[in-house]
Structure 1
Amino acid sequence: MTDARVVLLVRDGCHLCEEAVAVVRAVCTETGDTWAVQDVDADPALHAEYSDHVPVTFVDGVRHAIWFVDGTALRRALSAGSAG
């Protein structure tokens, strides 16, 4: 995966993925944290593990959420991670 603080696994044509991208974009723009989108179908290992769960959100390399991203919970995770 990438070294961005928030990584979002998505796939084309996924409406939940589009919603998750909007939330992650808004939160990371607000907090100044880096984020990246990765296509789950472009990586065989990610596809095998996460295909049925997209979107999947990671914060600092740790799985944070599947299917939906709660902006408040994401802000909290980013804040907790930067404090340590």
Structure 2
Amino acid sequence: MVCAELGFTWVELSILDDPALYDQYWERIPVVLVDEKIIEFWRIDPERLRGALSE
């Protein structure tokens, strides 16, 4: 929803399809990265995500 509001595209990946992603993120799902930096995990706060995308 936040990405659509701001005109950003996003990609959803499954950790089950990539062993390296599984090893790195299995205990943080869901996890949101912006420019390869973790912004949020477990609970996604729309305002924090909006702020990260606006930087």
Aligned length: 55
Q: Which has the larger helix fraction?
A: 1
Identity of aligned residues (%): 40
1:48 to 2:48 alignment: no
One of 42, 45, 51 as aligned partner of 1:70? 45
Q: Which has the larger strand fraction?
A: 1
One of 29, 37, 49 as aligned partner of 2:12? 37
Cα RMSD between the aligned structures?
0.7
Unaligned runs of 5+ residues in structure 2 are none
Structure of greater relative contact order (alpha carbons < 8 Å, 6+ residues apart): 1
Unaligned runs of 5+ residues in structure 1 are 1-25
Alpha-carbon distance in structure 1 between the residues aligned to 2:50 and 2:27: 25
TM-score (norm 2): 0.92
- Structure 1 ranges of 4+ moved more than 2 A: none
Cα pair 1:41 1:51 within 8 Å, conserved:
no
